[in-house]
A = this chain, B = another copy of it.
Amino acid sequence: METDRPDGHQSESQKNPMFQIFFILLEVTIVILYGIFVEFHYDPVDPNLPWTEEPQTEFVTGYPVLQDISVMMFVGFGFLMTFLRTHSWSAVGFNFILTVVVFQMYILYSGFWSRCVSDDHWDLKIQVGIETLVTAFYCCASILISFGGVIGKLNLFQLLVMAFIEACFYSLNEAIVFEKIHIEDIGGSITIHTFGAYFGLSVAFIISPKQTKGHPKNSSNYNSNLFAMIGTLFLWMYWPSFNCFLALNPEDRIRSVINTLLALTGSTTAVFITSSFFKKGKLNMEDVLNATLAGGVCVGSSADQIVYPFAALFVGYFAGFISCIGFERLSGFLQRKVGLYDTCGINNLHGMPGVFGGIFSAIFIGALTEDTLGFRVEDRFEGRTASEQGGLQMAGLGITLGIAIVTGIITGCILKLGCFKGPTDLFEDQVFWEME
Chain A residues with a Cβ under 8 A of chain B: 1, 11-16, 19-20, 23-24, 27, 30-32, 34-35, 38-49, 51-52, 55-61, 63-65, 67-68, 70-71, 74-75, 78-79, 82, 88-89, 92-93, 96-97, 100-101, 103-104, 128-130, 133, 156, 219-223, 225-227, 229-230, 233-234, 236-238, 240-241, 248-255, 257-258, 261-262, 264-266, 268-270, 272-273, 276-277, 279-286, 288, 292, 304, 307-310, 313-314, 317, 373-376, 379-380, 432-434, 436
Q: Which residues on the B side are within 8 Å of A14 (C-beta)?
A: 279-282
A183 vs B382: C-alpha distance in the bound complex, in angstroms? 50
Smallest CB gap from A236: residue in B: B74
B432 and A103 contact, CB distance less than 8 A: no
Instruction: Work out how many copies of this chain go into the complex.
Output: 3
Chain B CB within 10 Å — which of A44, A49, A221, A317 has the most? A44
Can you list 5 contacts pairing A with B, beta carbon distance less than 8 Å? A23-B272, A34-B313, A39-B308, A74-B237, A104-B262
Given A250-B59, A268-B97, decide whether A75 and B233 contact each other with a Cβ distance below 8 A: yes
A33 vs B229: C-alpha distance in the bound complex, in angstroms? 31
Given A34-B313, A310-B34, decide whether A253 and B59 contact each other with a Cβ distance below 8 A: yes
Q: Which residues on the B side are within 8 Å of A46 (C-beta)?
A: 374-376, 379-380
From residue A256, how far is it (CB to closest CB) to chain B in Å?
11
A35 vs B31: C-alpha distance in the bound complex, in angstroms? 53
Q: Which residues on the B side are within 8 Å of A23 (C-beta)?
A: 269, 272-273
A100 and B265 contact, CB distance less than 8 A: yes
B432 and A71 contact, CB distance less than 8 A: no
From residue A267, how far is it (CB to closest CB) to chain B in Å?
9
B279 and A434 contact, CB distance less than 8 A: yes
From residue A49, how far is it (CB to closest CB) to chain B in Å?
8
Q: Which residues on the B side are within 8 Å of A128 (C-beta)?
A: 258, 309
From residue A24, how far is it (CB to closest CB) to chain B in Å?
6
Seed contacts A14-B281, A283-B432; 18 additional CB < 8 Å A-B pairs: A13-B281, A14-B282, A16-B281, A38-B309, A40-B254, A44-B304, A46-B380, A74-B233, A78-B233, A88-B222, A93-B288, A96-B233, A96-B292, A97-B269, A100-B265, A100-B269, A133-B261, A279-B434
A89 and B230 contact, CB distance less than 8 A: no
Given A1-B219, A97-B272, decide whether A251 and B374 contact each other with a Cβ distance below 8 A: no
Q: Which residues on the B side are within 8 Å of A253 (C-beta)?
A: 55, 59
Given A307-B43, A317-B31, A436-B219, decide whether A250 and B282 contact each other with a Cβ distance below 8 A: no
B233 and A230 contact, CB distance less than 8 A: no
A58 vs B261: C-alpha distance in the bound complex, in angstroms? 17
Q: Which of B223, B268, B280, B284 touches A223 (beta carbons < 8 Å)?
A: B223
A220 vs B304: C-alpha distance in the bound complex, in angstroms? 45
Q: Which residues on the B side are within 8 Å of A55 (C-beta)?
A: 249-251, 253-254
Smallest CB gap from A67: residue in B: B68
B74 and A40 contact, CB distance less than 8 A: no
Given A23-B269, A285-B433, decide whether A31 and B92 contact each other with a Cβ distance below 8 A: no
Given A38-B309, A282-B13, decide whether A60 and B58 contact each other with a Cβ distance below 8 A: no
Q: Which residues on the B side are within 8 Å of A308 (C-beta)?
A: 35, 39
B236 and A282 contact, CB distance less than 8 A: no
Chain B CB within 10 Å — which of A24, A92, A268, A281 has the most? A281
A61 and B64 contact, CB distance less than 8 A: no
Q: Which of B48, B133, B254 touches A129 (beta carbons < 8 Å)?
A: B254
B96 and A285 contact, CB distance less than 8 A: no
A53 vs B292: C-alpha distance in the bound complex, in angstroms? 35
A93 vs B286: C-alpha distance in the bound complex, in angstroms? 12
B61 and A269 contact, CB distance less than 8 A: no
